[in-house]
């Protein structure tokens, strides 16, 4: 975590398509101006977590800090919406530095598909047949056969998203870990997943891919009929997310663990 020393005179606003977000964009742009995102000191995303992920992907390599304000239905990655004193809020915001996952998926025709995932990389069965998967970590087979609806690898930032719904562990934002979490495991039925170092290279092979087709999803990017998926953290890519003091991602992830 770090604080920004910028003055934030140039702010870019982006919004989701919901009326509340579009209205907020018009009011804020009238009050503070609306710079082109590539020339801005910060991008303010108005919407929910879906818009935040889209904005992070769109400006993945820009190193422009992104500050979300909640105008959507889900806002774990967003700050509270407030129109007053926005430049001051940006100046006092704390920055979380996020490294996404890099996915290399190879389909049944041998074609490679590359994508980055901020939250998680997930594999899902495509038909009524359960997926049959082989999992290797750093070149060693750790699970010869996992029969399941799917499996996911989550970053700390994504550990409170789909990973949590699949009963995966919540990871502190600065933990050098990844969560490997099964989705409805049938065999071994009681396996609940694993915690892996964020230096790990994970390979998931699809057993019987023609009989049991599987898709791979990196956030919103899907590849169908995969045979092999390689996942590792993209340490060379750094995303800058901004949060109000006392409500940063560290605090949100910690608080989430005490919800009941």
| Binding-site residue set for NAD(+) | 49-50, 119-120, 149, 157, 160-165
- The reply to whether 49 belongs to the active site is yes
Which positions make up the binding site?
Answer: 49-50, 119-120, 149, 157, 160-165
Q: Who contacts 231 (Cβ-Cβ below 8 Å, separation ≥6)?
A: 101, 102, 103, 104, 121, 153, 201, 202, 203, 204
| CA separation for the pair 229, 223 (Å, rounded) | 10
Peptide bond into 188 cis (omega under 30): yes
Q: Who contacts 139 (Cβ-Cβ below 8 Å, separation ≥6)?
A: 201
Backbone angles phi, psi at 105, to 5 degrees: -110, 135
- Burial of residue 171 (number of CB atoms within 10 Å: 0-12, 13-18, 19+): buried
Tokens matching residue 89: 């809020």
Among 49, 84, 85, 244, the one annotated catalytic? 49
- The residues that are catalytic are 49
């Amino acid at each position: 975590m770090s604080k920004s020393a910028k003055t934030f005179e140039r702010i870019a606003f982006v919004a989701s398509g919901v009326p509340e977000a579009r209205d907020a964009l018009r009011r804020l742009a009238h009050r503070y101006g609306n710079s082109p995102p590539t020339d801005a000191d910060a991008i303010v995303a108005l919407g929910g977590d879906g818009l935040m992920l889209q904005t992070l992907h769109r400006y993945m390599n820009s190193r422009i800090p992104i500050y979300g304000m909640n105008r959507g239905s889900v806002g774990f990655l967003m700050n509270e919406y407030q129109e007053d004193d926005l430049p001051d809020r940006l100046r006092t915001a704390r920055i979380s530095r996020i490294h996404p996952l890099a996915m290399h998926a190879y389909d049944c025709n041998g074609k490679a598909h590359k994508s980055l995932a901020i939250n998680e990389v997930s594999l899902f069965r495509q038909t009524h047949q359960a997926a049959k998967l082989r999992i290797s970590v750093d070149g060693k087979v750790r699970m010869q056969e996992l029969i399941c609806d799917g499996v996911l690898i989550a970053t700390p930032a994504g550990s409170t998203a789909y990973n949590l719904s699949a009963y995966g562990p919540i990871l502190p934002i600065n933990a050098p870990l990844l969560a490997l979490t099964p989705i409805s495991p049938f065999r071994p039925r009681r396996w609940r997943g694993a915690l892996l170092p964020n230096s790990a290279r994970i390979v998931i092979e699809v057993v019987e891919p023609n009989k049991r087709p599987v898709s791979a999803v990196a956030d919103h990017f899907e590849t169908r009929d995969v045979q092999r998926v390689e996942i590792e953290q993209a340490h060379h890519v750094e995303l800058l997310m901004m949060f109000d003091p006392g409500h940063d991602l560290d605090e949100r992830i910690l608080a989430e663990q005490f919800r009941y």
